Amino acid sequence: QSSDYQVREQGEAQSMGYRAFLLGANGKTLSPWHDVPLKSPLGGGEIFHFVVEIPKESSAKMEVATDEPFTPIKQDIKKGKLRFYPYNIRWNYGLLPQTWEDPNHANPEVEGALGDNDPVDVVEIGERRAGLGEILRVKPVAVLAMIDEGELDWKVIAISVDDPKAALVNDESDVEYYFPGTLTEIRDWFRDYKVPDGKPQNRFGLGNKAAGKDYALKVIQETHQAWVKLVTRSVPAGDLSL
């Protein structure tokens, strides 16, 4: 449960030194990537934990520091400057713990693209704005295969089980019905967010549209297996902190 965890912030928000560390119920520092279980014990195997890196309606590009001990959340830096999206992200955004997109694995279903060396991203479409470092229980309902500068960067679309519409939304067709236009809006947001910086649009595999829940569950299973290989040292970790 999210009540089992708390967040300890260090440094000033929107500064290079800012870090948000995850603490367990006993006050021990944990890794939000490695130590939070992927699956929630409730929900028959299809409810997962989601770590919020970027609360909805904010623009600071926060992310788990995969190369630092305990992988705290920090603001991304590019060319010596803190990164911000050119406009707010309209959903809660973050990662699935205990998943990894293997940069040595060429995905035959998505143009042979290699993984982006990060945990799998989640776009959570519920109405509540979550807090940075908060852990929600979510159910995946769809997935987009984003190709960012040649790397495969999955976007799992999910809804918090505590959202008022959660019981109604179980697949991509339900998202279209109860959240009309949202799947297209998410795709277009991620397609275009780098354009103001002079970069090309991102592309998408799988026919340029969201695949359904079953495909999302397959992606989660495969990337969890890749993470298992990573932490059991059966593939080299490179700069990643385990």
* Active site (catalytic) residues: 85
CATH superfamily of the 41-67+75-232 domain: Inorganic pyrophosphatase (3.90.80.10)
Average pLDDT, the chain: 96
- Identify the pLDDT of residue 143: 98
pLDDT of residue 141 exceeding 80: yes
Contacts of 37 (CB under 8 A, 6+ apart): 49, 97, 98
Name the residue ranges covered by the structural domains of the chain. 41-67+75-232
How far apart CA 159 and CA 192 sit, in angstroms, is 23
41 pLDDT band, cuts 50/70/90, is: confident
**Each residue's pLDDT tens digit, 145-168:** 999 989 999 999 999 999 999 999
- Identify the pLDDT of residue 1: 63
**Each residue's pLDDT tens digit, 68-82:** 999 999 999 999 999
**Each residue's pLDDT tens digit, 79-95:** 999 999 999 999 999 99
